[in-house]
């Protein structure tokens, strides 16, 4: 929740407002950086995800297996998309939210002709959640075997409000 905090009272004469005027500031929200341990995080200086207040931003995420450091799915864009979304799910869980709270994804692919396969994997994971999404072809990703990279934005759900869409299990078991 954003809290208004009085910062200063300004003279009405100085602003020609004709009445007292109160300037308000916004209280700073807590920040949580989440790391996946990928070697690029320390080299580039970024976090896998950042939570600020009720918002979670997940950086570009590929199909790397955290335990082996190898790309999962070989030359299969569907499998790489599912693994990238599993990795995003892991970061979201650490931030206190999940796939059901994703409101936007950005998908980068090295070959837009695979859009249907990538889209099927995205649909299989999100179902009726249907976040806003964009799919963009890029020349290449950081490793030649990577075909797909995905960013995601989510909001922490307030359990007191009703959710729209189908609630998915917290574990993605896509084949």
Nearest 10 degrees: CA dihedral of 165, 170, 143, 104?
Answer: 30
Let me know if residue 18 belongs to a domain. no
Query: Does residue 40 register a pLDDT over 70?
Result: yes
Let me know if residue 9 belongs to a domain. no
What pLDDT, on a 0 to 100 scale, did the predictor assign at position 34?
93
CATH label of the domain that carries residue 136: 3.30.1330.40
Neighbours of 76 (CB within 10 A): 17
Into how many domains does the chain fold? 1
Let me know if residue 74 belongs to a domain. yes
pLDDT per residue as tens digits for the range 50-99: 999 999 999 999 999 988 989 999 999 999 999 999 999 999 999 999 99
Let me know if residue 88 belongs to a domain. yes
Instruction: Please state, rounded to an integer, the average pLDDT across all residues of the chain.
Output: 82
């Amino acid at each position: 929740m954003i809290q208004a905090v009085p910062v200063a009272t300004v003279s009405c004469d100085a602003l020609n407002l004709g009445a007292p005027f109160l300037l308000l500031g916004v209280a700073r929200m807590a920040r949580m950086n989440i790391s996946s341990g990928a070697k690029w995080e320390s080299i580039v200086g970024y976090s896998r995800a950042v939570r600020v207040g009720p918002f979670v931003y997940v950086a570009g995420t590929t199909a790397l297996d955290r335990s082996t450091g190898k790309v999962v799915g070989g030359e299969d864009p569907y499998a790489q998309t599912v693994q990238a979304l599993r990795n995003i799910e892991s970061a979201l869980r650490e931030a206190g939210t999940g796939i059901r709270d994703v409101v936007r994804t950005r998908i980068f692919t090295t070959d837009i002709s695979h859009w249907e396969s990538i889209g099927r994997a995205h649909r299989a994971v999100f179902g009726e959640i249907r976040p806003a999404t964009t799919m963009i072809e890029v020349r290449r990703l950081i490793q030649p075997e990577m075909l797909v990279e995905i960013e995601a934005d989510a909001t922490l759900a307030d359990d007191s409000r009703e959710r729209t869409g189908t609630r998915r299990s917290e574990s993605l078991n896509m084949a």
